[in-house]
Structure 1
C-alpha cells in the first residue's frame, strides 16, 4: 500500500506548473508571492466554422499552443481556456448545422470582466488576454477601459500574429499575398493544426478559395480578405456587418495546400517567443492597483 509520503516530491523534482486549472490554492498563493509573478495570461478561444478540413476549435487550439509555449519560456501563469468567443458572423444559415457557438457581445464582455476582477481580487496586477480569433477583439475596448479605470490594473489584449498583422511570421509563408496566407483556414492555420496533433486536419476536404464582396452589393464593391470592410472605388473605408458565408463560400480564405507541420512548429515558436517577450516587458511596468475588492461578484 502506498503512503502519503510516496506522493510527495521535493522541490528539485516537482514540475513547475503554469496552468492555474491544475494548481492548488496554496500553489497559486506561493507563485503570486514570488517576484515578477504579478502577470497572468488569459487565453480566449473560439468554437466556430472554419474550412471543412480543420476543426471548429482551430482558434482555441492555436491560442493554447502559443500560451503554453510562452508560459514555459518565461515562467508565467495562465488561466484555463475560454472556448467560446464572439463569433456571430460564423453561425451560418439557420438550421444549417455549422456548429458555431457564439457569445453575445455583452456576455463576452462580462466574461472578460469577471475573469479579470477575480484575478485582481487575488492580487494579480497585470492581465493579458490572448486570442487567435480576430473578432474577439471587436467588443473589448469598453470593458478593458472600465477595468483599468476601476482597478488601476494593467489590462491588455494580445492577438496572435496573423491576418493583416502577421509580421512576426511573415517570412515563413510560401503563399504570395494574393493567396492571403495568414487568413481563415489558409496556410497559417492549417500548418498550425498540422503541428498541434494527429487527426485535426483532413486535407481531402481542403479547398483553395478567396474572399469576395457579398453578392447583393454588386460589381462596384470588392473584398480581399476577412476584415469587416469592403472596397469601393479603391477605398476600403466602408464597414459592413457581414455574415462570413456572404463573403466566403467555403469558410476558407486563401490556399491551405502550402501548409506543412514544420511551418506550424516554426510559427508556434515565433508566436510564443513574441508573446513571451511582451510578458517580460510587462513585468517591468510600474503598476499600482487602487481597488482590488470585488463585492459585486455574486
Structure 2
C-alpha cells in the first residue's frame, strides 16, 4: 500500500491492524556522467514500493534529498546539513507513530545517510517512541554483489549502474559508460587517499575527477534484475521478521 495514493478514510483499517511502515530515503546527487542525480532515491523507492506490494505493508513517500555535501563540487547536487536531516527524519517518524506505527524500516540507498539514520533510530528507541532500523540494499546481498562485479564501486559503479539500467533504462547515458570508467578510479584504494591508516579525503572530488568509482562497463540490466530480486527478498523477510516481534522485545534492555 502506497500512503500517498490513498484517501484518508481508506487508511483507517491499515492503522487499526498494522504497526509497520516502510520509509524510502535516498539522495539527489551526482552519480557520474552516465547516471541521473535521482539514482539513489529511485532505487530506494523501487525497493520500498515493491516490498510493500508483496507484503501489504505501508510505504510512505520518498525522502529524496539527504546528506550529500561531500558531492557538492558537482553540478546539481542537493543536500541538507546532517542535523537538519536527522531532525527531519525523526519528526517524520514521530508523525507515523501518531497514527499507530511503532516500527519503521528506513529503506535507504545512499551511504551518506547511514550513520544519521542509525542515530535517529537509536534515539527513538531510547525514548521508547518507535523501533526504527536502517536497511541498505547492497548490504543485504554482499555475496551476490561480489560475485557479479570484479570492482563494484562504491559510488556510481556497476552495481548502481546495473540497477538503473534495470529500473529506469531511459535515464542511463549508455554512450558515456566507458567514459565514466576511464575518467574515474577503480576504488578508493586506487585513489591513494588513505595515508598511513588515515582517510585523508572528505569529498568525492578528492578521490575521483568525474565523481565515480568502479568499472561501469561491467554493468547490465540483467545483473540489475538479479540484484533487485535478491535484495527485495531480503527486505520482505526483514518486514516479516520485524512485524512478528513483540514491541517490548524491541526496546532497550534494562540496566544490569
Instruction: Name the TM tier (shorter chain).
Output: 0.7 to 0.9
Distance change >3 Å, CA 281–CA 182, structure 1 → 2: farther
Distance 2:130 2:27 in 1: 26
User: Could you give the per-residue CA deviations for residues 61-114 of structure 1, whole angstroms, max 9, x where no partner exists?
Assistant: 11111111111222211100011000010111xxxx610010111110111111
Of 118, 121, 126, the residue aligned with 1:144 is 121
Distance 1:258 1:66 in 2: 22
User: In structure 1, how many angstroms separate the alpha carbons of the residues matched to 2:71 and 2:185?
Assistant: 16
Gaps of 5+ in 2: 250-256
Q: Distance in 2 between the 1:168 and 1:283 partners?
A: 26
Aligned mates of 1:241, 1:171 — CA distance in 2: 25
Indicate conservation of the 8 Å contact 1:32/1:124, yes or no. yes
Deviation at 1:211, TM superposition (A): 5.5
* Structure-1 separation of matches of 2:112 and 2:210: 19
How far apart in 1 are the matches of 2:94 and 2:238?
A: 22
Which of residues 144, 148, 153 in structure 2 aligns to 1:169?
A: 144
Question: Is the contact between residue 172 and residue 263 of structure 1 (CA under 8 Å) also seen in structure 2?
Answer: no
- The answer to whether the aligner puts 1:245 opposite 2:245 as a matched pair is no
Q: Which residue, out of 51, 57, 67, partners 1:76?
A: 57
Cα pair distance change 1:73/1:182, threshold 3 Å: farther
Q: 2:85 aligns with which of 97, 103, 108?
A: 108
Note closer, same or farther for the CA distance 1:170–1:102 as it changes in structure 2 (3 Å cut).
Answer: same
CA RMSD of aligned residues (A): 2.3
TM-score normalised by L of structure 1: 0.76
CA separation of 1:111 and 1:65: change in aligned 2, threshold 3 A = same
Shift of 1:140: 3.2
- TM-score scaled by structure 2? 0.88
CA 1:40–1:168: 2 relative to 1, 3 Å: farther
Structure 1 pair 114/240, CA: closer, same or farther in 2 (3 Å)?
farther
- The higher radius of gyration belongs to 1
The whole-number CA distance in structure 2 between the counterparts of 1:204 and 1:264 is 18
CA 1:268/1:182 → structure 2, altered by over 3 Å: closer, same or farther? farther
Number of the residue aligned with 2:104? 127
Alignment size in residue pairs: 245
- Structure 1: runs of 5+ lacking an equivalent: 1-17, 213-222, 290-298
